[in-house]
Amino acid sequence: MITFVWAEDEKHQIGLDGHLPWKLPADIHHFKKITYGHPIVMGRRTFMSLPHILPGRKHIVLTTSQKLKNKFFADQRVLIISTLTELQRWIDQHKNLEICVIGGNSVFDALKNQVDCLEKTEIKATFIADVTMTKLNYSHFKIVKREFHQPDNLNLYPYEFLTYMRKEK
């Protein structure tokens, strides 16, 4: 099963200069809860934006960077994959796992016709950003969970956790 996990603002923006444009600790906690114990698929820029290798998750990184291949060659926590064909082969070989795709936009776009579950955080604000989430056809999905949260001392913006499942074909 393929699950997309991301947060976006009201304009569907997801990134600025390789990082999140907002600080929302509740979303980071939600992200960890969803992805922990599952492989996480991402592009090079998303991988480079992480503060460190996230514990409890195999990192599958789509990149042609030989430097990253060399650096993580012997690291069992990271698998560097060079092409979409190789990534598709890896996904096909791991269909029994829940695979969490965490970005960036080109990886979301490449896998949008295969995704089974959408785990989206909607932040009820607008930020300065330079990356917008790939367009998804929500008519293919059914919302199964919705959880709204008001701002608090740590989370300065209202936000909503939304879970969508692909409708049966």
Terminal-residue alpha carbon distance, the chain: 15
In a 10 Å sphere around its CB, with 0-12 CB exposed, 13-18 middle and 19+ buried, how is residue 62 labelled? buried
**Per-residue pLDDT reduced to its tens digit, 75-116:** 999 999 999 999 999 999 998 999 999 998 999 999 999 999
pTM across the whole model = 0.95
The Cα 5–Cα 164 span in angstroms is 11
Residue-range domain boundaries for the chain: 2-166
Structure-block tokens of residue 155: 């989370």
How far is 36 from 157, CA to CA, in rounded Å?
Answer: 25
How far apart CA 154 and CA 141 sit, in angstroms, is 32
pLDDT at 130 over 80: yes
pLDDT per residue over 68-77, tens digit each?
Answer: 999 999 999 9
Phi–psi pair at 139, nearest 5 degrees: -70, -15
Point out which residues pair with 102 in neighbouring strands: none
pLDDT digits (tens, 9 = 90+) for 34-73: 999 999 999 999 999 999 999 999 999 999 999 999 999 9
CATH of segment(s) 2-166:
3.40.430.10
Gap between the Cα atoms of 41 and 106, Å rounded:
12
